[in-house]
Structure formats: structure tokens, C-alpha cells
Amino acid sequence: MRVPPFKMERMQSTYENHVDYNLSESGVHPLRAEDLLEGPGEAAGLLSMELGYCQSNGTEELRDRIALFYPGAVRENVLVTNGGAEANYATFWTLLERGDRVALELPNYFQTPGLSAIYAGPADRFRLVRRREEDRTRWALDLDSLHRAVRPKTRLILVTNPNNPTGGILTEGEMDEVVRAARRVGAWIVADEIYRGAEVSGRSTPTFWGRYDRVLITSGLSKAFGLPGLRIGWVRGPPRTIEAIWTHRDYTTIAPGILSDHLARIAMEPARRESIFQRTRSIIRRNLTVLEEWIRGHDALFTYTQPEAGAIAFLRYDLPIASIPLVDRLRLDRSVLIVAGDQCGLPRHVRIGFGSDPDYLLRGLARFDLTLAELQGVSTATRRAAARGGAPRPPSTARSSARRSGP
Ligand SMILES: Cc1ncc(COP(=O)(O)O)c(C=O)c1O
């Protein structure tokens, strides 16, 4: 079986530990284990644990606590996985047969288009589009493309809500439209809700859970909780389907790590969960102000739609360079890593992660400025040359020295 490369993930894992400024992350600066362990009692409790296998589908206490995050859920509705990635993987593997059709929201985190290609075939795409509504511009669901993408053979509709990379959140009306489309053909809705809890407004994103009987939620602790290193994710759905997904998961990683399950139980305790979300939202609000000021300094260059959730901004740029060469150039010349829009399903865009320390963010952005200035120099020269009918002169900046002399 040919497996299409998951380009964005491979790009991040290849370079994220080898650049000076990693602005490719979509979550907030992670918590430390000691932030979760209150007092010496909890720390000692963790240290004295036997390092045996954890209950394969997650301990009952952890599943109970995850269930509390969804109104009316119980532990039988929950399977604990290794990260949100395994939750998506096992869900797609379980639901899909070759020849099924999948309707995928774009732009998106590109794990799911790859999974669709592996387990079903080519996917039908529907879009989020920038739309001016009342007093703001938001990423809105393009209903025509949704209804075109959902066909009689559609088995699964994938939405990521809040969305990565746009940070957009569907309205209740748009969620109802997704449900209506699914109901029309009897498709499953897989809603990746891993950014739920990381809203700029502080208002929790409504869940797809409870709107239709064929809904599976995938999620985890990596984004809104700031705990990616625990590698805890979950699928939440009807008990029989959860059992079927568990059967598939027996072939992958067997069980979550026992220390991770323990720390996840602490993080999912309802009061603790809410205080973790408050931390996440305050990091996002603080850093978004910093990022927006930088964006305002480049008004003519970027089209910016404020993210509603997540520590990510998805910017359209007006420069004569495709997003992958732009990101490569920034990495090679300035040792700054961001994500190319072409690896999320939208060209001429970049995704900037702003969940780190504000000084770190500003230093990374200052290096990005150097690359942008070079490219704008080229762009201006190209326009002038076109007006003269000749070829542009090369930019004067010496690329090899820029990295050392940058901020
Ligand atoms: C939408 C979405 N789903 C799933 C994942 C994978 O999450 P995890 O790191 O928990 O495996 C990511 C990671 O970026 C993501 O953005």
C-alpha cells in the first residue's frame, strides 16, 4: 500500500528542534509536570507508581473525567489514545472501506486527507472561506461546497472545529448544516475538536456531540491543554463504535503510558481543566496583541482574519513566491520555522504559531521581517522592470551573512 507523505508533520519533525525560532507550533507554551502536581503528596503519588501497562482503553477514572467534558456522556463513550493523531488514525481506519467517499473540510491539518487516501480513496473537499459578516470578517463555511462534497457514497464528513490552520469556529447554524448534510446520506461526522477550550473570547466552542447519533469526536490534551508531551488523546462516540475503534487500536500502541494517564486524570478534573483553559486563553490573548501589532506594520502585505481559537494565525501574503519556497527560505536564511499554506490546503498563505513567550515571538518575527524586506525588494524591482520591459536586478542583501547578523 502506498502511503502519501504527511508533509507538514514531516517538515515540523525534521526541523523544529534545529531552528532558533520555532513558530510552527499550534499550541501554547507547554505546562510542566510540576504545574499539574499540587503539593508533595501528588508528586510522591506519581513517583511511587509502578510502571506497568496501563488499562488499554484508558483508566476508568480518566474516561469518566473525559466523559464529563461532553454533556450526557459516560465512560463507555470514551477510548483513550496516544494523542489526537492516533484518535484520528484509528477512527478513519475503523470507519472506512476502499471506495467509500470522504468529505473533508479545507484548509485543514493534513493528517486526515492522507488517511482518507489510504483507507478510502480521493476525498471531496468543502471549504472555509473568508467572509465579511456584520462587523467582522470570519472564516465561514461555504455551504455550496459542503452540499456538493457530500454525496450518496459519503461515509465520513471531517470537520476540525475550532479549525487548524485558520482558527475559525463554526456557528451553530453552520454546525446544523453539517449535520443536515450528514443525515441526508447517513454519513458519520468526525469532529476533531482538539482546539476546543483555546478560544480568544473565553466562550467554549459548542461540541458536535449530541447533535446527531453518528458523531465521533476526536480530541486530546496537546493544544487547548498545553500538554502535548503526555501524548493523550481520545475518541468519544457511541459505545459500539468505540468498541470497534478499540479493536483497531489493539494493533497500534495497545495502551496509553501509565504516567500520562495519571497526569491526564489530574488535568481533566473539571476545576483543574477550567484553570488550564484560562491559562491557555490568557497566553493566546496576550500574544495575539503582540502579533497583531506586527501584522499592522505590514498592512499592505497580509490579509489577516483574526483567529477565534488556537495560537495560530493564517495569513494571506502578497508576494511573488509560493508558500513552500517562502517557508524554506525563512528557515534556511533566518533559522525561523513557520508552516506553508500549501501544506494545509491553501496557497499563498502562511501559518504563524504565536503560543510561545512574547519576546521569543517578537525575535522570530523580526527575522521574518528581514526575509520579507528582501522579497519586497525583489517584488518592487520586478514590477519596475516589467514597467520598463526588462529583467529585475538581483537584491543587494547578502543571504549567507543575514542569519548571523539577524536579531
Ligand atoms: C487538528 C489536529 N488534530 C490532531 C492533531 C494531533 O494532535 P496530537 O499531537 O495530540 O497527536 C493536531 C496537531 O497539530 C491537530 O492540529
Rounded to 5°, angle at Cα 163 from 2 and 303:
105
pTM score: 0.93
What is the separation, in whole angstroms, between the first and last Cα of the chain?
46
Burial 353-388 (b: 16+ CB within 10 A, else e): bbbbeeebbbbbbebbebbbebbbbbbeeeeeeeee
Residue 215's φ and ψ, nearest 5 degrees, are -120, 130
Atom of ligand 1 nearest to the CA of 220: 10
User: For residue 289, how far is its CA from the centre of ligand 1 (angstroms)?
Assistant: 25
Query: What is the residue-level pLDDT of the chain in tens, covering all 407 positions?
Result: 788 989 999 999 999 999 999 999 999 999 999 999 988 899 999 999 999 999 999 999 999 999 999 999 999 999 999 999 999 999 999 999 999 999 999 999 999 999 999 999 989 999 999 999 988 999 999 999 999 999 999 999 999 999 999 999 999 999 999 999 999 999 999 999 999 999 999 999 999 999 999 999 999 999 999 999 999 999 999 999 999 999 999 999 999 999 999 999 999 999 999 999 999 999 999 999 999 999 999 988 999 999 999 999 999 999 999 999 999 999 999 999 999 999 999 999 999 999 999 999 999 999 999 999 999 887 677 667 767 776 555 443 333 333 333 33
User: For residue 71, how far is its CA from the centre of ligand 1 (angstroms)?
Assistant: 23
C-beta of residue 196 within 8 angstroms of C-beta of residue 224: yes
Residues enclosing ligand 1, CB less than 6 A? 26, 83-85, 88, 109, 160, 164, 192, 194, 220, 222, 228, 233
CA distance 302 to 288: 15
User: For residue 179, how far is its CA from the centre of ligand 1 (angstroms)?
Assistant: 23
From 6, 82, 164, 230, give the residue whose CB has the most ligand 1 atoms within 8 Å, as the site to mutate: 164
CA distance 194 to 181: 23
Longest CA span, the chain: 76
User: For residue 376, how far is its CA from the centre of ligand 1 (angstroms)?
Assistant: 34
Residue 211's φ and ψ, nearest 5 degrees, are -95, -10
Indicate which residue's Cα is closest to atom 7 of ligand 1: 84
pLDDT at 390: 61
Atom of ligand 1 nearest to the CA of 163: 1
C-beta of residue 287 within 8 angstroms of C-beta of residue 310: no
pLDDT at 383: 67
pLDDT at 168: 98
DSSP string, 51-82: --PPPTT--HHHHHHHHTTSTT--GGGEEEEE
Cis amide prior to 407 (ω within 30 degrees): no
Can you name the residues that pair with 389 across neighbouring β-strands?
A: none
The residue among 281, 70, 104 whose CA lies nearest residue 193 is 70
Cell numbers 479545507 correspond to what residue?
A: 106
pLDDT at 392: 52
User: For residue 351, how far is its CA from the centre of ligand 1 (angstroms)?
Assistant: 15
Give 348's contacts (C-beta < 8 A, 6+ positions apart).
Answer: 316, 317, 318, 322, 323, 341
CA distance 340 to 119: 26
From 12, 222, 339, give the residue whose CB has the most ligand 1 atoms within 8 Å, as the site to mutate: 222
Q: Where are the beta strands (DSSP E) in 162-251?
A: 188-192, 215-220, 232-236
User: For residue 9, how far is its CA from the centre of ligand 1 (angstroms)?
Assistant: 10
